A and B are shown apart, each in its own frame.
Chain A
Amino acid sequence: MDDIDAMFSDMLQEMDLLTQSLGAEEESAPLPKPPSIPDPQQMNFSIGFTDFNASLHDLEDNDLDALMADLVADISATEEKFATEQDTLKGSAPVAPIPSQPQDNFSLPASTDTSRHATSSNSIAAPPPPPASKPSKEELEEQIKADKIKLALEKLKEAKVKKLVVKVEIMDGSSKTLMVDERQTVRDVIDNLFEKTHCDCNVDWCVCETNPDLQTERGFEDHENLVEPLSTWTRDTENKVLFQEKKDKYDVFRNPQNFYLWKKDKKSLKDMKEKDKEQLLEENFCGASVIVPDLEGVLYLKEDGKKSWKQRYFLLRASGLYYSPKGKTKASRDLVCLVQFDNVNVYYCKEYRIKYKAPTDHCFILKHPQIQKESQYIKYLCCDDEWTMTLWVTGIRIAKYGKQLYDNYKAAVRKAAGSATWANRSLQASSSASTPSPTPKARAANGHAPQPAVETKGSSNQTSFPPPPPSMETLPPPPPDPMMPPPPPAPPSATKVNKFPPPPQFPQSSFPPPPMDDLPPPPPPPEDSELPPDFLPPPPPIFSSCGGEALPPPPPDPIASLPPPPPAPQNFASAGGAPPPPAPPPPPPAPAPAANKPAGSIRKVAPPPPKRTTPQLAAPSGGDLMSELMTAMQKKRTQ
């Protein structure tokens, strides 16, 4: 219980900070920035990221709202969980919000996973009630206690999951903000961004980091985790995260001949038959070991600690970058290893002619990802022209990542292709959905972003912002078609615009529709019906803030929107029961922990949304928090 309390107080604090910064924002920037929200078409995103508080200040209003929405959801989820726990554990002391507890996590630049464990806890919360209330409580008490300890431990683990709020800049100077979980791969983040930006989702989209100190840029590979490299940035960093199309990201797979047969004349390569290209890929990427392009040639190397650049004859091998010393042959035995790729990444550089007196501006460096400033441990290389640079950088990436790169590409292609089919599918699925969404298009949108929908406010949102639906359509949702059909009953109301974690993928996989049939929804309903009223009110305000003028007064909203929530929880609850199989660790006895597990194991931040939908949030203790929040929001709105 202490753990939970501590965590809870952490969360409270976070909320405090949030509301504070919200207030600050308000003063400086007038809230009405509806365009950005309803208008999801902006294709470009740029991201900058700093620690939580700082970033909040930079955020656009709508970003803030979205973030808020997420946080609220998480918190309410935790609360609800709390509440249920309290119920089950009748003996325990009142859990009510106890802000007094110390919280260390907080200081971390990365906001710790409040939302994460909250979400997991949420799913848990639903199942436990049934056993506790129905069978004789006394018998089960012990068991429950044990479960709870386990649960708390799980949550502790969850709590260790690092999360970052990342501002991603898009080419046109706009930006998107999203929360990234340390378990998310870059691929997940890109999918996220696809959903938010409604770009064309082709395979060239890439998340890059820039470093103004070193004037470098590097595209993250799809399989990398985003949080790890970002956490090595310094506190006062001016590094940025960009979302942009990079032609060279996967060019090697589209035109392998340019890299593997680079010695041949360009003309003959230009119209190479597709079949031959495939064979090249097969030869080089599908054998027992990946074959690295046999690059060799003169490059300039900046001498250690000096300003001069020296020409050297370089050769690329799978084992590293080599050069042949003066007066020696190119024979392997005489080569000197400049660097091996295990611990370094390769970065493109800008304007090194001025910065370092490089012979040309076509430079790249090799350095340990944690090095952020000029250092003798960085290898600086310069090429005669841009193509040569692309050739070498790509070659080094192949040497470093090997087959993984090809797998990434194939996955990206599948995704890109799947987005089209997805649109159709979601349309169908959505048509079956019963919720009162205004237009069929809106439904489609819901289809792919089912969970978030739960928010009652969502519905209000939709009405107020007609534009979103169409945009969603254009937006090819990342969720790969392989996934199962969108969760049927999911309340369609959610405006995905608000949510940033694109939940679609997660929910689908973790909550397979079938379970719903098996699992009797009964248990949850009772609670749900009671709870919703309490819980619901808060959300609307948030939305209204983001919605701006269009939003009708908050109070009415909840009522109107009320109906939807109940059904949702049922689904989720039942679905929550289903996941257990995937979750290996927790023992079967308590369904709750099991449910918890899956949520935790999934990478997506997405999960939180679904949970929040559960009306159980109403937890008694929640009142305080929520009212606090409410007041904050109210303040904001009045301003």
Chain B
Amino acid sequence: MAAWDLTVTVEDLGPDAPPLQISVASDLHIGGVILKLVEQTNLKKDWSDHALWWEQKQQWLLRTGWTLDKCGVHADARLVFTPQHKPLRLGLPNGATLKMRACFSSSAFRTVMGICRVLSKKHLLLPMMKNKDSSEELYDLTDVPLTAGSVQALYNGMPAHFADSPKTEAVYKMLSVSLPSSAPEAIAKLYRPASVVDKTHIHTRWLDSSRSLMQQGIQENDKLWLRFKYYTFHDMDPKYDAVRLTQLYEQARWAILLEDIDCTEEEMMLFGALQYHIGKLSLSQDMVSSCQGMDDLESALKSLEVKMVGDSNSTDMLESMTAPELNDYLKIFRPKRLTLKGYKQYWCKFQDTSISYYKSKEDRYGEPIQQLNLKGCEVAPDVNVAGQKFCIKLLIPAPEGMNEIYLRCENEKQYSQWMAACKLASKGLTLLDISYQSEVKNIQTFLSMQRSNSAAPAAQTDDSINTHSLVSPRYQKKYKPKQLTPRILEAYQNVAQLSLTSAILKFLQIWQALPDFGISYFMVRFKGSRKDEVLGIANNRLIRIDLGIGDVVKTWRYNNMRQWNVNWDIRQVAIEFDGNINIAFSCVNADCKVVHEYIGGYIFMSTRSRQQSDTLNEELFHKLTGGHEAL
């Protein structure tokens, strides 16, 4: 057979080196080509990761047993001899960027699995892929400017344990502990989708999971975003998956801060309070791994406490029967129509869940002027640290309605004690409750935060958090920090007792309960329609949205779906539902492969939820997401 010259560029020779010419015959197999090539370079090194990339055809020649003829390679082919694993920069949900080695030659699906395996390797002693898997996908970032707040963490890595060096440990910490919130100004500068149309643009950029990174034009050192793509989260167990939980939280947090998902003011305040709480707890945690250890310890302590109560001898019990009290002079004010009376000072006694007040300390053994049972009441702070105003607003339910009463305290210390007591009493707990001390402390911390805010808004220390950084720019504009802080404080009181993981889980829960949660938008044109519309894809349904008014026109549920397919010639997705309902649409700004893969992916996830195995059925995934496209 006639020999001919094959042109191959060897990257390792340097960018300026001319391509090598090797003499081959058409029946030479790829392995032979590589052998010849390596001999010709005269370089001693490990070539095992290298493979041939056919530039014009955008494909890898990975089957070393195939002949050139079989691969269709002729003299005009320009091949590149290059490593299959290359460094890649990954934008994580928390805004940090991670540099790591990824496989450019296998399908994106496998590559992502490989990456996830690395990220949670140390922690996941169970099978690595454990559902980190397909819920994360790569974002092609080429046209996305990534701005402030990204920690450049280097992790050059073959799969290795994070504990290898302080540096890798730091990486792990970055992954598994939520990062402090960025400055409000930075948040405001980040890109925010202003409309549904904007949101459709984001989703045009998902990579095709059946093709390799190289095939999709990703170059060495390019930056991709790593995100949870499918909003179906199975068994979130914080014990095994701190990284996953944290990153999920970060993704949720940024979705809310950047108004990617809409929420109401009340919800935003609660999100803000939770962020504050999570941030505070994360800071105080020196060791990453302690996060689950802490929870265990906490529960162990709790049960220990219970035991001790049980074991206490009778005298102790006697003592504990007489509950502690708070006694002090406070100013009380009861707003009533047509009265101009202001605050008046009384001697107040807090016992069990009630406040009794007397004219003076000397009268305390007599009948109180009034006794207020706080069980079931609403407690709201009315505080201005700068103005030294420490009021507790109580709304005490009575048969006729609610009684409004203000208690005015002298100082922070008094306020935090009485406030904590009121808070507990409203839940039916007494001063005896173990949470009392921590409640007092929480209130004090929050007050100090407000102090630093109002005193020196310009000079932020690391400890104090600007409440503006806890809400989205819309609310930054709407409220001044001074107005915002009390509202977040109010919401904070309901979550202050949560542990770190339960706070994160709570945040995720509220996020998932939002009406628009988990909907990915695509601009499409339905068959027979003359205008562009938006198709929302959620984990259980498809939603047709009218662009003009933004209303949901129709929803179809997956479990009514008979079949779906893609006509690759006219790039149209066709779906058939029960009852002979057929819809077909083409995608306006995304590749219809992306849409097809999204729907298939959700159906894949729903099959998974039933079998609950740790390994992914890759074949099934590709079958469901790949369509009948010839690869």
Q: A residues touching B (Cβ–Cβ < 8 Å)?
A: 146, 149-150, 153, 156-157, 232, 234, 263, 268, 276, 279, 283, 287-292, 294, 317-320, 322, 329, 331-333, 335, 337, 340, 342-343, 368-373, 375-378, 584-587
Q: How far is the CB of B353 from chain A (nearest CB, A)?
A: 13
* B307 contacts partner chain A, Cβ-Cβ < 8 Å: yes
A160 nearest CB neighbor, chain B only: B321
How many Å lie between the Cα of A149 and that of B314 in the bound state?
7
How many Å lie between the Cα of A153 and that of B555 in the bound state?
62
If the complex has contacts A153-B318, A335-B264, are A288 and B270 also in contact, measured as CB distance less than 8 A?
no
User: Quick check: A287 and B512 within 8 Å, CB to CB?
Assistant: yes
Can you spell out 23 A-B residue pairs with CB atoms less than 8 angstroms apart?
A149-B314, A150-B317, A153-B321, A234-B399, A279-B559, A283-B540, A288-B508, A289-B508, A289-B509, A289-B513, A318-B510, A318-B514, A319-B267, A322-B264, A332-B263, A332-B516, A333-B474, A335-B264, A337-B266, A340-B266, A371-B397, A371-B402, A372-B399
Instruction: List residues of B (301-322) whose CB comes within 8 Å of A's CBs.
Output: 306-307, 309-311, 313-314, 317-318, 321
User: Quick check: B314 and A319 within 8 Å, CB to CB?
Assistant: no
Question: In the assembled complex, which residues on chain A have CB atoms less than 8 Å from the CB atom of B540?
Answer: 283
Question: In the assembled complex, which residues on chain A have CB atoms less than 8 Å from the CB atom of B378?
Answer: 343
Q: B residues touching A (Cβ–Cβ < 8 Å)?
A: 233, 236, 262-267, 270, 306-307, 309-311, 313-314, 317-318, 321, 376, 378, 397-402, 474, 494, 505, 508-510, 512-516, 540, 550, 555, 559, 579
User: Quick check: B310 and A586 within 8 Å, CB to CB?
Assistant: yes
Q: Which among B314, B512, B516 has the highest number of chain A CB atoms within 10 Å?
A: B314
How many Å lie between the Cα of A375 and that of B509 in the bound state?
34
Question: In the assembled complex, which residues on chain B have CB atoms less than 8 Å from the CB atom of A234?
Answer: 399
How many Å lie between the Cα of A388 and that of B378 in the bound state?
30
Question: In the assembled complex, which residues on chain A have CB atoms less than 8 Å from the CB atom of B310?
Answer: 584-587
Extra contacts besides A370-B399, A584-B310 (6): CB < 8 Å: A150-B314, A157-B321, A337-B264, A371-B398, A371-B402, A587-B311
How many Å lie between the Cα of A372 and that of B399 in the bound state?
4
Q: Which of B265, B317, B376 touches A343 (beta carbons < 8 Å)?
A: B376
Q: Which of B264, B314, B398 touches A153 (beta carbons < 8 Å)?
A: B314
Question: In the assembled complex, which residues on chain B have CB atoms less than 8 Å from the CB atom of A287?
Answer: 512
If the complex has contacts A153-B317, A585-B309, are A375 and B400 also in contact, measured as CB distance less than 8 A?
yes
A237 nearest CB neighbor, chain B only: B399
Q: How far is the CB of A314 from chain B (nearest CB, A)?
A: 13
Q: How far is the CB of A620 from chain B (nearest CB, A)?
A: 27
User: Quick check: B376 and A288 within 8 Å, CB to CB?
Assistant: no
Q: How far is the CB of A238 from chain B (nearest CB, A)?
A: 12
Q: How far is the CB of B425 from chain A (nearest CB, A)?
A: 14
How many Å lie between the Cα of A288 and that of B517 in the bound state?
13
Question: In the assembled complex, which residues on chain A have CB atoms less than 8 Å from the CB atom of B559?
Answer: 276, 279
User: Quick check: A288 and B509 within 8 Å, CB to CB?
Assistant: yes
User: Quick check: A370 and B513 within 8 Å, CB to CB?
Assistant: no
Give 7 nearest A-B pairs by CB, closest first: A585-B310, A375-B401, A370-B397, A372-B399, A318-B513, A289-B509, A332-B262
If the complex has contacts A156-B321, A288-B508, A317-B264, are A371 and B399 also in contact, measured as CB distance less than 8 A?
yes
How many Å lie between the Cα of A585 and that of B270 in the bound state?
38
Q: Does more than half of chain A's interface fall in helix, strand or loop, or is it mixed?
A: loop
Question: In the assembled complex, which residues on chain A have CB atoms less than 8 Å from the CB atom of B263?
Answer: 332-333
If the complex has contacts A150-B317, A584-B310, are A288 and B265 also in contact, measured as CB distance less than 8 A?
no
Q: Which of A332, A368, A372 touches B376 (beta carbons < 8 Å)?
A: A368
How many Å lie between the Cα of A150 and that of B309 in the bound state?
13
B320 nearest CB neighbor, chain A only: A153
User: Quick check: A373 and B314 within 8 Å, CB to CB?
Assistant: no
Question: In the assembled complex, which residues on chain A have CB atoms less than 8 Å from the CB atom of B579?
Answer: 268
Q: Which of B318, B398, B509 touches A370 (beta carbons < 8 Å)?
A: B398
Question: In the assembled complex, which residues on chain B have CB atoms less than 8 Å from the CB atom of A337?
Answer: 264-266
How many Å lie between the Cα of A322 and that of B515 in the bound state?
13
B268 nearest CB neighbor, chain A only: A333
Question: In the assembled complex, which residues on chain A have CB atoms less than 8 Å from the CB atom of B508?
Answer: 288-289
Question: In the assembled complex, which residues on chain A have CB atoms less than 8 Å from the CB atom of B321?
Answer: 153, 156-157
User: Quick check: B513 and A373 within 8 Å, CB to CB?
Assistant: no
Question: In the assembled complex, which residues on chain A have CB atoms less than 8 Å from the CB atom of B318?
Answer: 149, 153
If the complex has contacts A319-B510, A370-B397, A584-B306, are A288 and B233 also in contact, measured as CB distance less than 8 A?
yes
B259 nearest CB neighbor, chain A only: A333
User: Quick check: B264 and A319 within 8 Å, CB to CB?
Assistant: yes
How many Å lie between the Cα of A157 and that of B505 in the bound state?
37
How many Å lie between the Cα of A319 and that of B318 in the bound state?
43
Question: In the assembled complex, which residues on chain B have CB atoms less than 8 Å from the CB atom of A368?
Answer: 376, 397, 402
User: Quick check: B505 and A320 within 8 Å, CB to CB?
Assistant: no
Q: How far is the CB of A144 from chain B (nearest CB, A)?
A: 12
Q: Which of A149, A331, A342 touches B262 (beta carbons < 8 Å)?
A: A331
A264 nearest CB neighbor, chain B only: B555
How many Å lie between the Cα of A156 and that of B318 in the bound state?
10
A284 nearest CB neighbor, chain B only: B540
How many Å lie between the Cα of A337 and that of B264 in the bound state?
8
Question: In the assembled complex, which residues on chain A have CB atoms less than 8 Å from the CB atom of B307?
Answer: 584
A153 nearest CB neighbor, chain B only: B317
Q: How far is the CB of B182 from chain A (nearest CB, A)?
A: 22
How many Å lie between the Cα of A157 and that of B309 in the bound state?
14
How many Å lie between the Cα of A395 and that of B510 in the bound state?
17
How many Å lie between the Cα of A319 and that of B402 in the bound state?
22
Question: In the assembled complex, which residues on chain B have CB atoms less than 8 Å from the CB atom of A333?
Answer: 262-265, 474
